[in-house]
Structure 1
Amino acid sequence: MRRTIAATDWLRVLRADAPARHQLVCMPPGGGSATAYRALATKLGAGIGVAAVQYPGRQDRLGEPAISDMDTLTGRIAEEILRQGPIERLALFGHSMGATVAFETACKLERAGQSVTTLFVSGRPAPTFVEPGRLHLASDDELIGDLERLATDPASVRILRDEPSLAELVLPAVRSDYQAVETYHYCQGDPLAGDIAALVSTEDPTMVPEQADQWRDHTMGSFERALFPGGHFYLDEKVSEVADFITRSLARHHSVA
């Protein structure tokens, strides 16, 4: 019997297909939470169980300190997944900061003996990219400004300027996530054994589509790049198309015998 992922403080089950041929664990973008992948979970094809990581310091984990170090964060996530026992046909998905989180988690899982069939990385350059900014040290106003720059609808972020009490709740986790990304340094290691699929959008202000090709250097398996129209958070508007891509990719490379 194939093992399905059980819900924990760190792992939130968004879809529990039974029997599931694949288990997909999603890593939220900076400032995000597990609920960011609720819509994606509903659009994926049959036989794909979906869980999402809930980082500390937000939503129902608001009382816990956020983790601002990438190695510490991904170590905790890998430990939580490994506690589930061997998972057959495990895949990871991450968008923006979540792509780096997913990659480092995949590296730790493979070293521990848990295979990752496919790593889906979205809206993020390859690990060798060095983030030039230091917005985690900037003012709240500058931090909100960058969130507005990346948002599909900047008005949805502007509420943080108008509601200081809300900003006090939200910005500490955002700042911690920015610190994790901006202080991350890739340590050279063996390429992943599993496949990598890099998803990128046409108008992303954080990268150009060609940068996604550099993810090819981090796998001994197959590599594929997929291009979608839109800005940094294209996934919000192209969720069906992304779900179709993930479903096809898993079915094509890891069909059930």
Structure 2
Amino acid sequence: MSSFQPWIKRYSGAGGGAALVFPHAGGAALAYRALGAALAAGGSDTYVMQYPQRGDRLTHPAPETVGDLAADLFDGGDWAGLGPLRLFGHCMGAVVAFEFARVAESKGIAVDSLWVSASEAPSTVAAAPALPMAEAEIIAEMVDLGGTDPQLLADDDFVELLLLAVRADYAAFNRYACDEGVRIAADIHTLGGDADHRVNENMLRRWETHTTGAFTVSMFDGGHFYINEHIAEVAELVHAL
């Protein structure tokens, strides 16, 4: 019997440790296939998370909070046997990864580093405007952020499934709060796009308060989904530090 749920997508690497990837709000594991493969090619076994309410977890209940989602993902695998973990999260996925790190560290599982991509710091989420829940506003949000093929947004069946996933994630995120003094021992490395109109470098730097370890900021050309054009460079950076 496998020690990992089938909805955790694994990409085999030849090195030690493991990299875990946490998608953005509404994102499916399939969208991170290229990053998963690139991280695995760099050496680490890579595991891409699948959140409830999409893909092969379509019928799984939506989590109440980001903390509940992180706990659900943690329970999906035997992480203790993998060696030091490297966590990578994009946008909301970075906050999910942060909460996952808190769970892992509380259970004595070593987390080497948290890689934060295009995300506001946990302690700033509660004060930010609530994410939209109405269909028209969610679609407008997807268009504004980029990262979703406009042709897909014209497909009613796709939009129906997208709304299910986004609403589940947005609701959990809107209920999230974290004090500025909450810290993890893992190093935090932040990444962002220099043309991202949602998350700028100053916002990324707010993550420094959430680690007792090392902290770095790296900026790339591009917007909120800069990562789509820099997969190889991001994977190389994750393995270099």
Same fold? TM cut 0.5: yes
Separation (CA, whole Å) in 1 of partners of 2:129 and 2:196? 16
- Letter of the 2:129 partner, please give it: G
Separation (CA, whole Å) in 1 of partners of 2:207 and 2:146? 24
- Aligned position for 1:43: 38
1:14-43, Cα deviation, whole Å (9 max, x unpaired):
x2124x212001101011111222111232
Query: Shift of the alpha carbon at 1:247?
Result: 1.7
- Give the TM-score of the pair, scaled to structure 1: 0.85
- Aligned position for 2:240: 248
Which residue of the other structure, out of 200, 205, 210, is the alignment partner of 1:213? 205
- Aligned position for 2:94: 99
- Aligned position for 2:55: 59
Q: 8 Å contact 1:94–1:122 — kept in the other structure?
A: yes
- Letter of the 1:38 partner, please give it: R
Runs of 5+ unmatched residues, structure 1: 250-257
1:142 and 2:134 are equivalent in the alignment: no
Identity of aligned residues (%): 34
Runs of 5+ unmatched residues, structure 2: none
Separation (CA, whole Å) in 1 of partners of 2:61 and 2:150? 23
- Letter of the 1:48 partner, please give it: S
1:165-195, Cα deviation, whole Å (9 max, x unpaired):
3322221111111122222101465521121
Q: 8 Å contact 2:180–2:210 — kept in the other structure?
A: no
Q: 8 Å contact 1:68–1:177 — kept in the other structure?
A: no
Distance 1:70 1:190, change over 3 A: closer
Separation (CA, whole Å) in 2 of partners of 1:170 and 1:225? 31
Distance 1:87 1:43, change over 3 A: closer
Which residue of the other structure, out of 119, 136, 157, is the alignment partner of 2:114? 119
- Root-mean-square deviation (Å): 2.0
Query: Shift of the alpha carbon at 1:85?
Result: 3.4
- Letter of the 1:108 partner, please give it: V
1:52-83, Cα deviation, whole Å (9 max, x unpaired):
111111112212233242121111122224x3
1:93-136, Cα deviation, whole Å (9 max, x unpaired):
10001000000110111011111001101100111113533334
Q: 8 Å contact 2:36–2:48 — kept in the other structure?
A: no
- Aligned position for 2:169: 177
Separation (CA, whole Å) in 2 of partners of 1:188 and 1:219? 10
Q: Which has the larger radius of gyration?
A: 1
- Give the TM-score of the pair, scaled to structure 2: 0.90
